[in-house]
Amino acid sequence: MPKFSVLIIEDEKNIQTFMGKVLKRHDYQVLYANTGKQGLETARSRCPDIILLDLGLPDIDGCSIIQEVRTWTSTPIIVISARTAEREKVAALDLGADDYITKPFGTSELLARIRASLRHSNRLLTDSTFYIRSYKHKDMTLDFSKRLLTIHGKPIHLTPIEYKIVAYLAQNSGKVITYAAILANVWGPYADDDNKILRVNMANIRRKIEQDPAQPQYIFTEVGVGYRMAEDEDE
């Protein structure tokens, strides 16, 4: 089976080296670019399976690269960002990035983000049964065909809106989904961009599914950005 190829567009040599070593150790083929220009050229010529993109490049703004790449390919893009850059993260996701990872990050987090993005990308292309197969994580199962959520085998009653939120996050498990994307998917394209209605619904969902809503194990808050559902374990 051919290796997945990963293009790292990153000007910080130590981060580039760290990611390259980790990825090679886990059998990925690694391509490097130190600038945005070089990154775009490599993306066009080598067609990587996934792109890791630092937003703070010396020559081209990272968001401009996302826009450019999205004109010709849906290759997953994971943004590498600073901890405090919430607005930057949201802008990158809205422009078409698939996920982000915050500096400093560890090996397992990096690999999990890549795995989730590749899995989602490949399923959209090849697996028409993706949204029929149940989502499973720990003791929770979501059966899309029956619209049924169970924990420890016991049905959990969700309102239609709560179900839509949970199902959308489960279909994108392992990936951060912005508040705006959830609002548009659940309430439609003309939804009010006030997050309050979403926060109220999320609080109700957590009371129903989490043992301790303050320390969730299924749906995590990405502060200032959105929510992330725990990765589907049923691979």
C-alpha span between 174 and 112 (Å, rounded): 8
Helices (H), 26-73: 36-46, 62-69
Q: DSSP character for 170?
A: H
The pLDDT score that the predictor gives to residue 132 is 60
Q: Is 215 exposed, middle or buried (0-12, 13-18, 19+ CB in 10 A)?
A: exposed
List beta partners, residue 100.
79
Which domains are seen in the chain, by residue range? 5-126 (3.40.50.2300), 135-229 (1.10.10.10)
CB 44 within 8 A of CB 70: no
Give the closest residue to 112 by CA, choosing from 225, 26, 222, 8.
Answer: 26
Question: What was the pLDDT predicted at 1?
Answer: 45
Contact present, 99 and 81 (Cβ < 8 Å): no
Q: How much is the pLDDT for 192? A: 72
Report the distance separating Cα 27 and Cα 5, nearest Å.
9
- The pLDDT of residue 121 is 73
Beta-strand pair 5-9/29-33: parallel
CA 129 to the chain's CA centroid: 20
Residue type, position 25, single letter: R
Using an 8 Å Cβ cutoff, are 82 and 103 in contact?
A: yes
- pLDDT per residue, tens digit, the chain (235 aa), is 467 899 999 999 999 999 999 999 999 999 999 999 999 999 988 888 899 999 989 999 999 999 999 998 888 999 998 767 788 889 999 999 999 998 889 999 999 999 888 877 765 544 444 446 789 999 999 988 788 999 999 999 999 889 989 999 998 898 899 998 898 888 876 677 778 889 999 999 999 999 999 999 999 999 989 999 999 886 5
pLDDT at res. 129:
45
